[in-house]
Structure 1
Amino acid sequence: MFRFFFRRGLPVLVLSLLWAGTAFAQPLEEKVYEHTFANGLRLLVVERHESPTFAAYITFGVGSVNETSETRGVAHLLEHMLFKGTETLGTKDFAREKPLLDAIEEVGEALDAQLRQAPADPQKIAELEKELARLQQEHSRYVVKDEFSRIYSENGGVGYNAYTSKDLTTYLISLPANKLELWASLESDRMKNAVLREFYTERNVIMEERRRSYESEPDGLLYENLLAAAFTVHPYRNPIIGWMSDIENLSLKETRGFLHKYYAPVNTVITLVGDLDTAAAVSLVEDYFGTLPAGEPVPRVTAVEPPQKGEKRIHIQFDAEPQLAIAFHKPTLPERADYVFDVIDQILSQGRTSRLYRALVVEKGLAASVSTYSAPGSRYPNLFVVSATPRHPHTLAEVEEAIYAELERLAKEPVSDEELEQARNRLRVDRLRYLKGNSGLARMLSYYQSVAGNWRYLVGYDQEIASMTAAEIMETARLWLVPRNRTVAILDKEED
């Protein structure tokens, strides 16, 4: 979750960033230029002329939360596929490549259909696998690997990347200031003419990624099972990468349909931060992106997670050191309680003087590590998670009991003025440090414009935190950090 990401700043304070909240908010509000084009595309521009570079973020307001049972995993798959190129990039001769792509899709669909049949025909499957391999080998002659990355690198680009979350998908790059038109040309071409080449190969890559990062890795396994247990109805329960059966059954047709439906201007925020001329940037984006079809707005998820009526517990047996994760349902932004949980997060686990770290790691020596965070998204009500790893010879039960003692203390005893002010200052400094760079500011503006519906969420954040009281923290803890609202997931080795 992005807000969790930017809260965790570097441990060294930068005094030049210790601005007052109002002093920061007013200039930011004045510096962000926003423009909405006729096709619904939203553009945010911030001029910063300290260095001759700019950061560019393209954020599509669609993520795994918007998938159905037929398309789970498709947003993550598309993140991979959109690096593959267009009708002019990533190919040596698209006119000759296109018939092979059509043939690969036809054989791939036939193979998938055979694999889903019961009973399957091993001979037919073998024949189709052989034919698919032959076509893919022939097709490889026309593929130019990583052409987006090569062009950006040759033109001074750094940080070229993408990520998919529950709530959105983002592509990002930082470039020299004189490369804005190159960026616009490449990215508009990707939005308009993306070619989903090497689909079946990439689908296999993602299945291997799932095996490696979730099914064979204790952290991923624990987290995935925690979400699946905590959410009964809401699609936040599903992994971004999809379940294995989801990935296996994703078709090229479904993937292409999801792309054309939602990865479109009406769901897109472009943020440009750096050494730019605003008027020229608006004109350039209009020229390259303004003629793209608007597309279909991503519908809001209608599933509402029902209130939890009692503690849920799951036990995962896996050959790894024991781990514990405890999740509590909570409201999301812009609810006041969400701000309160930002402060609670700081008080409980951020820094060596935080309550959980001091009590469990330093004083009692029960845990090797302990952390808190909000997950798995922010567009809909989410979870506040406490995770810990016991220190041998202490047990999961001891660590769990100690965590509950600290949560109960939070609900019964007001935090001191000093502790509250330290939490506020850490939040402020971490955020301002992140905003110092072009990429950090672009990321935050894009994120809040997409998830909160307005980048100005940033402007009022310090004021909300500054008005937080110890009584509110106690009230929030009493309301949400309670047994009936929690899901407990433990992971340890199978008993002999």
Structure 2
Amino acid sequence: MRRGRATPDRAIDGPTPRWRPRLSPAPVVGALAAFFWWSPAAGQEANPDGVAPAPGESLPVVAHTLDNGMRFLVLERRGSPTVAFMVHYPVGSIHEHLGNTGIAHVLEHMLFKGTQEIGTSDREAERALLLRADVLRDSLLALATSSGPSGETESATPRPELEARLAATLDSASALEIPNEFDAILSRAGARGLNATTSYEATRYFVEMPSNRAELWFALESARMKDPVFRGFYPELDVVKEERRMRLETSPGALLQTALLAAAYAVHPYGVPVIGHASDLDRLTRGQAEDYFRRYYGARNAVVAIVGSVDPDQIIQWANAYFGDLREGEPPPLVVAEEPPQRGVRRIEVEYDAEPQLAMAWRGVSGDHPDAPALAVLAVALTGGRTSALYRRLVTADRTALQVSAFQGPGFLGPRLFWITGAPRAPHASDELEESIRDEIRKIQETPPSGAVMQRIRNQIRAGDYRRLGRNFQLAGQLADSEATFGDWRTTFRLSQAVVDVTPEDVQRVAREYLKDSSLTVATLVRPASEGPTP
């Protein structure tokens, strides 16, 4: 999400939405093909003889790579005279370093601020003011790091004076800004759904346009990729910090999941919120953001999926004309952190004045691990619909829970967790839910799901596949994500077949292997203890 508008997340299905710590309880299998990706294990045939390809695998996608490495996927779909654009950069919060956390999300906001030509009434005057603001901000940061124990410094310019100068400079720069001009140009051309998202492993920008205005997207998108101006940077940081307060600091569910992630991950960046640490945002500069953008948001990292009523040959001509001279950029930093072994249950309590919640998370596998499909089916068997084991028992029969969800996350490429979350129904407590959850897990560990349960899951998977095929936005998101993650747009379509091929014994095996106390972290949301004597 951009420009500080805080909106709830939803299951990752196509354009990756945002919220919480980028986790999506996905009880309905319609989200499986995007959230529980899986690539075939090494040496395994992707489509062995006699097995029908997964829906979507044979789509007539035209793939084209520019000389600078930028990849385009074009799918012509006649019908509605519209086209969906999805730009995927495999750059997310896990690629940041401590000290600059949150920078990918800040860049998501800044790329809507315009270019040298779009968004300003006086380019040269604005440039001088923005540079002056950078110098003043750097001076204030230097004061913060050079002050002694008493907070006093030997600076020739007092802090209040520097702050006043910075505020005046930002006001002058703001007076030259044409707010939301980038958006307005697209909106006047009939664009819909213009937005962006940041996750642990990627940043995505997307919009839907009338087909006869498709070239306008090429002109504007190439302009902001080549020469964006991060105007209004420091006021926008305040917007981001307020967004952080809304999403992480005052949301009970987000507080609980953020705390659990920090407890479960000792060294891996999955333990750091996508939106970053507040102290890092306080010290982030425009120069740091510009450098990060120039390094990693280049042609070699960009994948563009275009789905709709378009001519692929014309699209490829525009791609070469508008993006052919874009800088290549650098690959994102490798994530080499490995979690040390966990040696027993970790338990934490999060105090907040809200109704109780429970989150249980076991160490699982990355999305490309061969066991990921079976764990996906296990999640659906537990909470995928009203007939699932935990929903039927906790919500319908015992009425001890208001809701319950199972899912894998965060991210995809690293060591994910297998989550079960729930909210107890008063007067029941979280420990009752935990015991019931453990009991249902034991049942699956002892007896695999029935054939009827497995068939229900398969039916849900196929239904979700066909729903996605009918939506340009979701399809563009899946194409881009698959190509950027695996180097092949077909791979995520094969997930559905991989999940369909899971056997009841596979589900039982992964329940036994992964849902063990030695890899479990439990977090509970509790009300703060009352202070003072009870009247």
Same fold (TM over 0.5): yes
Residue aligning to 1:14: none
Residue aligning to 2:307: 273
Alignment partners' CA distance in 1, 2:131 and 2:209: 36
Structure 1 counterpart of 2:458, from 397, 403, 424: 424
Structure 1 counterpart of 2:114, from 77, 85, 94: 85
- Deviation digits for residues 204-245 of structure 1, max 9, x if unmatched? 111111122211221111111111111111111100011111
State the TM-score, normalizing by the size of structure 2.
0.88
Residue aligning to 2:472: 438
Residue aligning to 1:39: 68
Letter of the 2:449 partner, please give it: V
Cα offset, 1:136, TM superposition: 1.0
Residue aligning to 1:232: 266
Alignment partners' CA distance in 2, 1:6 and 1:490: 20
Q: Is the 8 A contact 2:25 2:405 kept in 1?
A: no
Alignment partners' CA distance in 1, 2:520 and 2:357: 17
Q: Is the 8 A contact 1:7 1:430 kept in 2?
A: no
**Pair 1:160–1:481, CA change in 2 (3 A):** same
Letter of the 2:58 partner, please give it: E
Pairwise mapping of residues 192-271 of structure 1 onto structure 2 (< 5 A)? 192-271=226-305
Residue aligning to 1:324: 358
Match of 2:419, SS state, is strand
- Deviation digits for residues 155-208 of structure 1, max 9, x if unmatched? 010000000000100000000111111000000001000111111111111111
Residue aligning to 2:210: 176
Residue aligning to 2:390: 356
Q: Is the 8 A contact 2:55 2:466 kept in 1?
A: no
Cα offset, 1:40, TM superposition: 1.0
Match of 1:293, SS state, is coil
1:76 to 2:105 alignment: yes
What stretches of structure 1 of length at least 5 have no aligned partner? 12-20
Match of 1:488, SS state, is strand
Cα offset, 1:463, TM superposition: 2.2
**Pair 1:101–1:407, CA change in 2 (3 A):** same
Pairwise mapping of residues 344-423 of structure 1 onto structure 2 (< 5 A)? 344-423=378-457
Residue aligning to 1:16: none
Cα offset, 1:24, TM superposition: 6.4
1:289 to 2:318 alignment: no
Q: Is the 8 A contact 2:404 2:422 kept in 1?
A: yes
Cα offset, 1:432, TM superposition: 2.2
Q: Is the 8 A contact 2:113 2:180 kept in 1?
A: yes
1:189 to 2:223 alignment: yes
Match of 2:275, SS state, is coil
Structure 2 counterpart of 1:101, from 105, 130, 146: 130
Alignment partners' CA distance in 1, 2:364 and 2:354: 30
Q: Going by fraction, where is helix more abundant, 1 or 2?
A: 1
**Pair 1:142–1:7, CA change in 2 (3 A):** farther
Q: Is the 8 A contact 2:79 2:309 kept in 1?
A: yes
Runs of 4+ aligned structure 1 residues displaced above 6 Å come to 21-24
Alignment partners' CA distance in 1, 2:183 and 2:310: 23
Q: Is the 8 A contact 1:343 1:424 kept in 2?
A: no
State the TM-score, normalizing by the size of structure 1.
0.94
1:315 to 2:330 alignment: no
Fraction of identical pairs, as percent: 37
What stretches of structure 2 of length at least 5 have no aligned partner? 1-10, 14-23, 32-49, 531-535
Letter of the 2:12 partner, please give it: F
Structure 1 counterpart of 2:84, from 55, 64, 67: 55
- Deviation digits for residues 114-154 of structure 1, max 9, x if unmatched? 23343434982211111111011111121011112111111
Alignment partners' CA distance in 2, 1:271 and 1:291: 19
Cα offset, 1:313, TM superposition: 0.8
Cα offset, 1:10, TM superposition: 7.6
Letter of the 1:243 partner, please give it: H
RMSD of aligned residue pairs (Cα, Å): 1.9
Cα offset, 1:254, TM superposition: 1.4
